[in-house]
């Protein structure tokens, strides 16, 4: 189950955005809802940034684990030796 990155039911807020005037005029003439498109684009940008931050955090954790194993040995291997691994009879 994936948790929401933001509350989709939160109250709407009026904000000021600067966009290309010709682009806005043409999209408005075609009935494109600029607010809906901007909200969808912001949600996508938020998902991408959160994924980037998560990847960086995971990379940092993997690096720290590798450094720990290099300095102190593999704790999982030690436990398998002590208690017998899945292939122990």
C-alpha span between 65 and 69 (Å, rounded): 6
Residues near 27 by beta carbon (within 8 Å), at least 6 away in sequence:
34, 37
Q: How far is residue 20 CA from its own chain's centroid?
A: 29
List, for residues 61-77, the tens digit of each pLDDT value.
999 999 999 999 998 88
- The reported pTM is 0.72
How sure is the predictor about 80, in pLDDT bands with cuts at 50, 70 and 90?
Answer: confident
Average pLDDT in the chain: 91
| Mean pLDDT of the region 4-14 | 92
Q: Judge whether residue 89 has pLDDT over 90.
A: no
């Amino acid at each position: 189950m994936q948790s929401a990155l933001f509350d989709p039911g939160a109250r709407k807020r009026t904000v000021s955005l600067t966009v290309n005037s010709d682009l806005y005029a043409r999209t408005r003439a075609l009935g494109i809802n600029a607010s809906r498109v901007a909200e969808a684009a912001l949600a996508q940008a938020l998902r991408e940034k959160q994924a980037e931050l998560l990847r960086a955090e995971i990379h940092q954790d993997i690096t720290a684990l590798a450094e720990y194993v290099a300095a102190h040995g593999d704790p999982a291997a030690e436990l398998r030796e002590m208690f017998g691994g899945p292939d122990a009879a």
